[in-house]
Amino acid sequence: MEAQLAPICDRVVPALRNHYGFNERPIRFCVTHQTADLEHGSRTLAVVERYTPDALRPRVIRAIREGTEKRWLYFDGVYVRHVLGYNLGNQAD
């Protein structure tokens, strides 16, 4: 999951700065994760392989996969709401 965030932030940060005019403070999370997640994100599966008992490994891998899918669904929701302008019914206009 963490390995996904660095390339996402690589695309988001320039848009937030250049297109939307954000300064560094509001986007510091994304700026930090552009580099931080490159290192520890690439180690996730190695850590699971080394430290997760064999009996638990399928559940851990499934949880990682579900978390990854949820992150993409989150961005799908951002797109639907803010690009397409569709209110899903539970957001303030």
> What pLDDT, on a 0 to 100 scale, did the predictor assign at position 1?
60
For residue range 67-82, what is the model confidence (pLDDT) as tens digits? 889 888 888 887 888 7
pLDDT digits (tens, 9 = 90+) for 6-63: 888 898 899 989 998 989 998 898 898 888 766 766 788 888 999 999 999 999 999 9
Residues 6+ apart with CB under 8 A from 30: 9, 12, 13, 16
**88 has pLDDT over 80:** no
Domain boundaries, the chain: 2-83
Q: Which two tokens stand for residue 52?
A: 């997760």
The predicted pLDDT at position 86 comes to 85
| Whole-number Å distance between alpha carbons of 68 and 66 | 5
The residues, ordered by sequence, that sit 6+ positions from 5 with a Cβ below 8 Å of its Cβ are 33, 37, 41, 71
Q: What is the dihedral of CA 21, 27, 33, 36, to 10 degrees?
A: 100
pLDDT at 91 over 70: no
